[in-house]
Structure 1
Amino acid sequence: MSVYSLPSSIRSFLSLLSVLSLKVAMKVSEKNLKEPVDLVLSSTEVLLSLLDSITETQSFKGKWSLMRTKLSALQTHLSELSSAANDNALSADLLRSLSAALSDGVSLSACCHNPNPPGGKLKTQNDIDSLAAKIDSLSRDLEVLIKSGVLCENGAVSSSSSYSKRETIRAETRNLITRLQIGTTESKNSVLDSLLGLLQGDDKNVLIAVAQGVVPVLVTVLDSTSSPEIKEKTVTALAKISTVDSSKHVLVAEGLGLLHNLLRVLESCSVTAKENSCIALQVLCHSKENARAIGCRGGISSLLQICQTGTPNCQAVAAAVLKSLAVFGEIKDDFIEENAIMILLHLSNSGTASAQENAIGCLCNLVNGDDNLKLIVAREGGIESLKNFWDSSPSIQSLEAPVQMVRALASCPLIADFLVDHDFLSRIASVLSCGVLGVRIAAARAVSDLGYTARTRKELGEIGSIPPLVAMLDGKAVEEKDAAAKALSNLMAYAGNHRIFKNEERGIPSVVQLLDPVIHNLDKKSPISILNAVVDSKTCRKTMVAAGAVAYLQKLVDMEVDGAKKLLHRLCNGKLWGIFSRP
């Protein structure tokens, strides 16, 4: 008598008995299965049993038909896995999970041999959908595992006694990246701990991980997880990567996808996650497109909120991001709408030294080119804050932003006198000879803006600005030479400063060298102006000629540089230029 002629209740009982026997056999056999290759065979056997069972289903035939398609793809992956070197715990754990899921599938399909499943149609339907999702996930994990190559290389790593430390780290990184793409939330959490340990160990480890493709995987994890703990660890990893210069371009390449995820972290995650999100954002906020995206997504509001209520470290990094964003005029309205001026002024008074410095830098970028904002800053105590920070600054390096702020405010006539009255001329002069290039350049440019009257030019000369500016003319950076030349050109507009300049032994020779057309990106008008100021002196003319000024000026005349012809004529004292041989 056929099994199918039996009553449905008996058939269900026999099916369940068959499944139970299969499960018992699996448990007994798995005790002896230590190698993944055995687990592949075991999983394949259960998969085939499930396929056979599906042919006998009487309920939810459509869903089981779709399940059969998924199982066919899974069978292909198992076949690929059996041909790979797969003696590692990663494949073993995955195969055990797969065997368990397939075994559950056999039980579930057996229940569907009856047109009316014992558990009820609604529950059975939910169970089938859940099983299908699990099979999809495990199949995807198997595909990732196979394509990653970690199975094939694992044996090579263990068998090679001469395997280099770097190659070992590469293999370990690939393994972690693979594990990060598969498995449960708990397993990914554990993998992130291991990955963070690797990244924190050495910047070279970061470069290896980036080269192995860790960044896109981290971005995917950040985008797909709802676990606050995993978000925090993922952002921490991205922040570490962002601090290694050679890796920054990979983060930038992730574009708006990464940007939006980091902004979401600012809105709802832990303090640590927010701080690390700000660190990573510093790499992304230097393009106009990203700046607009941050403004549109409410990022400026979130960053300003951190500046008000965040921890000291978090305030500092948030202000650093805002400082970079404030460069872009397109989003200045977003700052104004969020009352950024007052928030940043408060931070420049009350935050840590780093937070104050970044707040001042942000204010400087915001007020550039806007006299109304400059007046607001001055009226709301910005100059006093600037003075207090300057006088208590922990290092010369931290003065670059304040010096730039002085320069920005000095360009507004209504504020310039206030700065002079608050002794900022001597403060600027005192850093012209400091050991930090950026501060020296900013100070030289501030001298150009503060020397707006004969009185301030005279005072800048008297307090010793000219000697360090002359020294800057011999600096390596063209930007430093140019800034110093422009400052000196301004100061030489006051005749009383000529004597101070003449007394500088390197003054005229250093200025003459700036006339050389080979030096690009340097405004030749400035050195021409300086030399014009002292060319009436016979001694100065001799020094200019000895330094090669005539040959340089002849070239500049040919290039039609303004002022070159007049200076050459004065230098030659009206004589024919041709008597000076060209080089």
Structure 2
Amino acid sequence: MRAPVVTQQYSRNLFSSVPPTPFPSKAMKEAADEEPINPLLTDIHHQLQSLSQSTTHVQILKGKWSLITTKLITLQNRLSDLSIPAAAAENPLSADLLRSLSATCSAASSLASVCLSPTPPGGKLKTQSEVDSLSAKLDAHINDLEVLFKSGVLSENAAVSLPAIVSSSKRESVRVEARNLMTRLQIGSTESKSMALDLLLGLLQEDDKNVLIAVAQGIVPVLVHLLDSSCSSEIKEKTVTAIAKISTVESSKHVLIAEGLVLLNNLLRVLESGSVFAKEKSCIALKVLSNSKENARAIGSRGGVSSLLEICQEGTPNSQALAAGVLRNLAVFEEIKENFIEENAVLTLLGLCNSGTALAQENSIGCLCNLVSGDDDLKLLVAREGGIESVKSFWDSAPTAQNLEVVVQMVKTFASCPNIAEFLVANGFLHRIVGLLNCAVLGVRILAAEALYDLAYNNKTRKELGEMGCIHLLVSMLEGKAIEEKEAAAKVLSLLMNYAGNRRIFRKEEKGILSAVQLLDPLLRNLDKKYFVSILASVVHSKKCRKQMVAAGARGYLQKLVESDVEGAKRLLDSLGRGKLWGVFVRP
């Protein structure tokens, strides 16, 4: 079944990203008149004229034939446009279309002869069906000719010779090829479109720069329309593969997002009924589209969570990992968490944590982490169902430190629930977390420090952390470049200082006092100074520490922090200057 007729407005939209092709000038027409006319084009003109005359003599279905006559006249006008450039009829795109149109004219002529009799041999119902089919074919030809002409492909072929194209830049060659393929994807048979998709996929896979060029030419709306209108599973599979490739190029993602619900709905249909390969490609594209609240809500309301969880249970290893990645994005949004609960997602995701590929496990843990965030009941459910064991298993098998980021995030999320925090400490997670404070991956270091803040819930735990060498590692983090790292380390240190033994360890740290004082500087923006004030306040009773603070310029910084009403700053400043002669000698 042919795709519905594309209106003039829609054709204009498909090529809105490129300048409109001007109609040929009088000079071009005259030049074309001087060149030989393609015999097939001449023959079709004669066929259409003859057919228009025949339709006036039909005896049955006169209303339908009157409409067909109008379409024949429209076709003649479209062909007149097509014949203006001298080389247009020789263009492979137009040549295929002309052959198809010629075959339709021949069939129409035979059908018109049948309708000259009030009692057609095949019966009126059969003849009416054939007439309706002919009318649809003519609509498709009109649409194809309009798309072909508006695409500008014919003007380019008339104006640019093959040697010129060959000698042009690579970018220009890709641009011309992309425009040709865009046109082929909108006209002709299913087989022709399938071949064009093969060529397009080759072009896109060759180089990401080709993707950017094709997107700039307007390939995305064409692909979305093709995915929305085609009934062929082969066409859908190749189309979603092209869309998936485009989604992997950062600079092109916004164009896909702009297609909105039309693209989203079609990708979800592929998830429900597409081939295994097509489902994988659909997941790749959905991963990009699932980052917004609006799209996440749409995916949830259209059964997308259910389809993705089904893939997590029954799909191929690769599709499971990809589906879990989409679910990981969706679980961020509070609005659709109910969809996860209704589909019993926790057990499915935990199952994938234990049996999937490394990427599937990572995405599943990440999804669970997002899902249970802020919900202690869900955290306890995941913990009871084996979530902590799954975290330990993935931790022990993680190939790189970067892969540990998701499990440390999960431990941090678990640790915010007091009951689970106690279990984590009892099962040796303190050693695991402390060991990551000098990890080479910044994100992992920050998450590890944040997790320790929740795990250090009593003095017993704080004592253990001090004995593990945690203080030295945290002081080293204070010297890190990232503001987030400095603050995460200071936050934990301020808590660990509540245990007297840790204060003694901190006082022995060569750079401990100096680093904390330097980070009081008000010029350091986006850094919560109260944690550094708390650290210094915990050791201010030591004469040696007070001298170190004053020598490092603490009084000057604190005076400014007092003006900003930073918590604890005035008390610490008073402690430093309480009747001590050495308090006068401050750094300018």
Same fold per TM (> 0.5)?
Answer: yes
**C-alpha displacement of 1:574:** 5.4
2:233 is the alignment partner of 1:239: no
2:506 is the alignment partner of 1:501: yes
Distance 1:545 1:146 in 2: 81
From the superposition, tell whether residues 50 and 579 of structure 1 become closer, same or farther in structure 2 (CA, over 3 Å). Answer: farther
Which of 162, 166, 173 is matched with 1:158 structurally?
A: 162
Moved more, 414-423 or 551-560: 551-560
**C-alpha displacement of 1:36:** 7.8
Q: Deviations over 1:244-281 (max 9, x none)?
A: 11111111111121111111111111111111111111
User: 2:96·2:188 contact (CA, 8 Å) conserved in 1?
Assistant: no
2:148 is the alignment partner of 1:145: yes
Distance 1:527 1:374 in 2: 32
Which of 206, 212, 220 is matched with 1:215 structurally?
A: 220
User: 1:108 maps to what in 2?
Assistant: 111
**C-alpha displacement of 1:582:** 10
Equivalent residue letter for 1:334: N
User: 2:463·2:499 contact (CA, 8 Å) conserved in 1?
Assistant: yes
1:112-511 to structure 2, matched below 5 A, reads 112-155=115-158, 156=160, 158-160=162-164, 162-511=167-516
User: 2:11 maps to what in 1?
Assistant: none
User: 1:5 maps to what in 2?
Assistant: none
2:115 is the alignment partner of 1:93: no
From the superposition, tell whether residues 579 and 141 of structure 1 become closer, same or farther in structure 2 (CA, over 3 Å). Answer: farther
User: 2:513·2:549 contact (CA, 8 Å) conserved in 1?
Assistant: yes
User: 1:556 maps to what in 2?
Assistant: 561
Equivalent residue letter for 1:47: L
SS, match of residue 79 in structure 1? helix
Distance 2:144 2:57 in 1: 29
**C-alpha displacement of 1:481:** 2.4
User: 1:409·1:415 contact (CA, 8 Å) conserved in 2?
Assistant: yes
Equivalent residue letter for 1:390: W
User: 2:78·2:145 contact (CA, 8 Å) conserved in 1?
Assistant: yes
User: 1:200·1:240 contact (CA, 8 Å) conserved in 2?
Assistant: yes
Equivalent residue letter for 1:328: F
Q: Percent identity?
A: 67
Equivalent residue letter for 2:425: V
Distance 1:399 1:518 in 2: 34
From the superposition, tell whether residues 576 and 265 of structure 1 become closer, same or farther in structure 2 (CA, over 3 Å). Answer: farther
User: 1:315·1:355 contact (CA, 8 Å) conserved in 2?
Assistant: yes
Equivalent residue letter for 1:94: L
Q: Deviations over 1:441-499 (max 9, x none)?
A: 21111011111111111212221223332333333332222222212222222222223
Distance 2:145 2:542 in 1: 86
User: 1:7 maps to what in 2?
Assistant: none
Equivalent residue letter for 1:415: I
SS, match of residue 403 in structure 2? helix
User: 2:576·2:583 contact (CA, 8 Å) conserved in 1?
Assistant: no
User: 1:40·1:81 contact (CA, 8 Å) conserved in 2?
Assistant: no
**C-alpha displacement of 1:501:** 2.8
Distance 1:522 1:457 in 2: 24
Ranges in structure 2 where 5+ consecutive residues have no aligned partner: 1-34
**C-alpha displacement of 1:546:** 4.2
User: 1:36·1:88 contact (CA, 8 Å) conserved in 2?
Assistant: no
**C-alpha displacement of 1:567:** 2.3
Aligned length, in residue pairs: 550
From the superposition, tell whether residues 389 and 157 of structure 1 become closer, same or farther in structure 2 (CA, over 3 Å). Answer: farther
User: 1:36·1:92 contact (CA, 8 Å) conserved in 2?
Assistant: no
User: 1:431·1:443 contact (CA, 8 Å) conserved in 2?
Assistant: yes
User: 1:323·1:363 contact (CA, 8 Å) conserved in 2?
Assistant: yes
Q: Which runs of 4+ in 1 moved over 6 A?
A: 575-583
User: 1:43·1:102 contact (CA, 8 Å) conserved in 2?
Assistant: yes
Moved more, 60-69 or 483-492: 483-492
User: 1:12 maps to what in 2?
Assistant: none
From the superposition, tell whether residues 37 and 438 of structure 1 become closer, same or farther in structure 2 (CA, over 3 Å). Answer: farther
Q: Deviations over 1:102-121 (max 9, x none)?
A: 23222222332333334432
Equivalent residue letter for 2:186: Q
Distance 2:362 2:460 in 1: 31
User: 1:73 maps to what in 2?
Assistant: 74
TM-score (ref. length: structure 1): 0.89
Equivalent residue letter for 2:499: Y
Q: Deviations over 1:355-398 (max 9, x none)?
A: 11111111111221212112222222221221111112122111
Distance 1:445 1:499 in 2: 23
Distance 2:226 2:154 in 1: 22
Equivalent residue letter for 1:232: E
TM-score (ref. length: structure 2): 0.88
Equivalent residue letter for 1:383: I
User: 2:60 maps to what in 1?
Assistant: 59
From the superposition, tell whether residues 48 and 416 of structure 1 become closer, same or farther in structure 2 (CA, over 3 Å). Answer: same
2:83 is the alignment partner of 1:82: yes
From the superposition, tell whether residues 397 and 122 of structure 1 become closer, same or farther in structure 2 (CA, over 3 Å). Answer: same
User: 2:415·2:454 contact (CA, 8 Å) conserved in 1?
Assistant: yes
Q: Deviations over 1:329-354 (max 9, x none)?
A: 22222111111111111111111111
Equivalent residue letter for 1:260: N
From the superposition, tell whether residues 151 and 577 of structure 1 become closer, same or farther in structure 2 (CA, over 3 Å). Answer: farther
**C-alpha displacement of 1:303:** 1.1
SS, match of residue 536 in structure 1? coil
1:521-540 to structure 2, matched below 5 A, reads 521-540=526-545
User: 2:577·2:583 contact (CA, 8 Å) conserved in 1?
Assistant: no
**C-alpha displacement of 1:54:** 2.0
User: 1:22 maps to what in 2?
Assistant: none
Distance 2:537 2:209 in 1: 55
2:54 is the alignment partner of 1:49: no
From the superposition, tell whether residues 422 and 44 of structure 1 become closer, same or farther in structure 2 (CA, over 3 Å). Answer: same
Moved more, 157-166 or 74-83: 157-166
The alignment's C-alpha RMSD in Å is: 2.4
Equivalent residue letter for 2:58: T
**C-alpha displacement of 1:134:** 0.5
**C-alpha displacement of 1:139:** 0.9
Moved more, 350-359 or 120-129: 120-129
SS, match of residue 515 in structure 1? coil
User: 1:458·1:497 contact (CA, 8 Å) conserved in 2?
Assistant: yes
From the superposition, tell whether residues 460 and 144 of structure 1 become closer, same or farther in structure 2 (CA, over 3 Å). Answer: same
User: 1:525·1:563 contact (CA, 8 Å) conserved in 2?
Assistant: yes
From the superposition, tell whether residues 452 and 66 of structure 1 become closer, same or farther in structure 2 (CA, over 3 Å). Answer: same
Q: Deviations over 1:85-115 (max 9, x none)?
A: 5242111111111122123222222332333
User: 2:537·2:572 contact (CA, 8 Å) conserved in 1?
Assistant: yes
**C-alpha displacement of 1:143:** 0.9
Distance 1:468 1:416 in 2: 22
SS, match of residue 397 in structure 1? coil
Which protein has greater RCO, CA pairs closer than 8 Å, 6+ apart? Answer: 2
User: 2:551·2:586 contact (CA, 8 Å) conserved in 1?
Assistant: no
User: 1:11 maps to what in 2?
Assistant: none
From the superposition, tell whether residues 51 and 372 of structure 1 become closer, same or farther in structure 2 (CA, over 3 Å). Answer: same
**C-alpha displacement of 1:579:** 6.8
Distance 2:465 2:532 in 1: 19
